[in-house]
């Protein structure tokens, strides 16, 4: 029996292409693993009205972890139109299957490294090395949304504060509401993950990125918990606090000053795209979605429909996802060697995709990295 069982979900569009690239490298690495492939994404929304079929969830449960490609998401009305005719008008509504996976498996930490590798012409600076810890199951992406607004929610709003009177005469279908839900436990576990990482990797500081001056109860809760946890459990690591808006400016001004960031779901989503762009953009950004038992690894980029079938996109983001997966599986030497092979490919700057000004195809870059891995 193989040592690891890995579920692979290529998904849509270029997801399939980058997973093919990942497989080239995994084969070279000779990871002692069994790979099982599953269905996810747009095709299954159109055919089955479910982009994350039950059988896929069952399959994932049988694996140690999952490697995920990319999926296409479209807004509500557009998605309904693409359902097979017999499925239309039955009240099915599209939801993002990656968000679904994060919720289902309680993958509460989304860890997104943003490191500048020497020689990457897209680096904003060469001394950036930030890791973002994004809370992944709560906050504004909890999935609690209303439109039209039910009467009981409206009356709760009206009772909440005199200022809410301005909504009194707004018809139910002319108002929408999304809830930003934070729990103490949810805040604590992501904050501890960030601090544990800082300790393990010898990082000097953790910056909590929120907006407690306005979002007093949710961001306020996160910051208060961060202060307590730092004081009681991690006195040797500094805690810095920054507001999300100002942080976007600081990250453009002095990204080299930051090390580990921790934030809630939506702010973490935003700030991790910003950090990703500082070190080369979507071709380089990967993330690990983890719980205490399970993990899903993914490139941050989407399915890029306009490039589908062209084998054009940069596979490095997915190869970083593979590297994070190897670390999580305890295959540390393989992970380090893969990082070195990726770094060598970037430094050499010969075999590179269009985003780096090159003409190489997705699989050619993967082959080059596999070849470099072999030589290490």
Secondary structure (3-state) at 349: coil
User: Which option in ligand IPM, Mn ion, none does residue 98 bind, with CB closer than 5 to 8 A by kind?
Assistant: ligand IPM
Least distance (Å) between residue 287 CB and ligand IPM: 6
Angle, CA 341 vertex, CA 271 and CA 361 arms, to 5°: 80
Least distance (Å) between residue 63 CB and ligand IPM: 20
User: Which option in ligand IPM, Mn ion, none does residue 120 bind, with CB closer than 5 to 8 A by kind?
Assistant: none
Q: Judge contact between 271 and 209, C-beta under 8 A.
A: yes
User: Which option in ligand IPM, Mn ion, none does residue 237 bind, with CB closer than 5 to 8 A by kind?
Assistant: none
Select 186 or 268, whichever has its Cβ closest to Mn ion: 268
Least distance (Å) between residue 19 CB and ligand IPM: 16
Least distance (Å) between residue 136 CB and ligand IPM: 8
Q: Which of positions 245-274 make contact with Mn ion (CB under 5 A)? A: 269
Select 98 or 322, whichever has its Cβ closest to Mn ion: 98
C-alpha to C-alpha distance for 103 and 90, rounded to whole angstroms: 24
Q: For residue 60, what are the β-bridge partners?
A: none
Select 135 or 269, whichever has its Cβ closest to Mn ion: 269
User: Which option in Mn ion, ligand IPM, none does residue 73 bind, with CB closer than 5 to 8 A by kind?
Assistant: ligand IPM
Residue 83: its H or E element: none
Least distance (Å) between residue 286 CB and ligand IPM: 10
Least distance (Å) between residue 280 CB and ligand IPM: 16
C-alpha to C-alpha distance for 237 and 232, rounded to whole angstroms: 11
Buried b (16+ CB within 10 A) or exposed e, 22-43: bbbbbebbebebebeebbbbbe
User: Which option in ligand IPM, Mn ion, none does residue 157 bind, with CB closer than 5 to 8 A by kind?
Assistant: none
Select 137 or 219, whichever has its Cβ closest to ligand IPM: 137
Q: What single DSSP character describes residue 181?
A: B
Select 80 or 269, whichever has its Cβ closest to Mn ion: 269
Select 99 or 274, whichever has its Cβ closest to ligand IPM: 99
Return the residue nearest Mn ion (CB atom). Answer: 269
Q: Which of 6, 65, 75 is nearest to 292 (CA)?
A: 65
Q: Judge contact between 38 and 330, C-beta under 8 A.
A: no
User: Which option in Mn ion, ligand IPM, none does residue 277 bind, with CB closer than 5 to 8 A by kind?
Assistant: none
Select 6 or 98, whichever has its Cβ closest to ligand IPM: 98
Angle, CA 217 vertex, CA 216 and CA 221 arms, to 5°: 100
Number of residues binding to Mn ion, judged by CB under 5 A: 1
Residue 142: its H or E element: none
Return the residue nearest ligand IPM (CB atom). Answer: 96
Q: Phi first, then psi: give them for residue 288, nearest 5 degrees.
A: -115, 125
Q: For residue 113, what are the β-bridge partners?
A: 131
Q: Which residues bind ligand IPM (CB under 6 A)?
A: 73, 96, 98-99, 269, 300
Q: What is the DSSP string of 263-332?
A: E-HHHHHHHHHHHHHHBTGGGT-EEEEE-SS-EEEEESS---GGGTTS--S-THHHHHHHHHHHHHTT-H
Select 112 or 203, whichever has its Cβ closest to Mn ion: 112
Residues contributing to the site for Mn ion (CB under 5 A):
269
């Amino acid at each position: 029996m193989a040592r690891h069982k890995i579920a692979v979900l290529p998904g849509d569009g270029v997801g399939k292409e980058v997973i093919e690239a990942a497989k080239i490298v995994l084969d070279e690495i000779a990871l002692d693993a069994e790979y099982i492939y599953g269905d996810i994404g747009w095709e299954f929304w159109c055919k089955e009205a479910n982009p994350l079929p039950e059988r896929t969830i069952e399959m994932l449960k049988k694996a140690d972890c999952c490697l995920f490609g990319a999926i296409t998401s479209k807004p509500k009305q557009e998605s309904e139109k693409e359902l097979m005719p017999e499925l239309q008008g039955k009240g099915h509504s599209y939801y993002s299957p990656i968000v679904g996976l994060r919720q289902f498996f309680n993958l509460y930490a989304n860890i997104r490294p943003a490191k500048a590798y020497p020689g990457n012409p897209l680096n904003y600076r060469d001394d950036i090395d930030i890791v973002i810890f994004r809370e992944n199951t709560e906050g504004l992406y909890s999935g609690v949304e209303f439109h039209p607004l039910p009467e009981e929610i409206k009356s709760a709003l009206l009772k909440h504060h005199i200022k809410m009177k301005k909504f009194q005469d707004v018809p139910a279908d002319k108002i929408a509401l999304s809830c930003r839900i934070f729990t103490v436990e949810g805040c604590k576990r992501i904050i501890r993950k960030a601090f544990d990482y800082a300790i393990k990797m010898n990082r000097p500081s953790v910056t909590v990125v929120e907006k407690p001056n306005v979002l007093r109860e949710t961001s306020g809760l996160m910051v208060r918990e961060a202060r307590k946890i730092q004081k009681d459990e991690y006195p040797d690591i500094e805690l810095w606090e920054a507001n999300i808006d100002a942080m976007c400016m600081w990250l453009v001004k002095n990204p080299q000053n930051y090390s580990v960031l921790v934030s809630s779901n939506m702010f973490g989503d935003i700030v991790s795209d910003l950090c990703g762009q500082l070190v080369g953009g979507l071709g380089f950004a990967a993330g690990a979605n983890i719980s205490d038992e399970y993990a899903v690894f993914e490139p941050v980029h989407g399915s890029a429909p306009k490039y589908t079938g062209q084998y054009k996109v940069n596979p490095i983001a997915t190869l970083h996802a593979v590297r994070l997966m190897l670390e999580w599986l305890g295959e540390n030497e393989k992970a380090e060697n893969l990082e070195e092979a990726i770094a060598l490919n970037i430094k050499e700057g010969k075999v590179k995709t269009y985003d780096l000004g090159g003409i190489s195809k997705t699989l050619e870059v993967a082959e080059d990295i596999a070849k470099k891995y072999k030589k290490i």
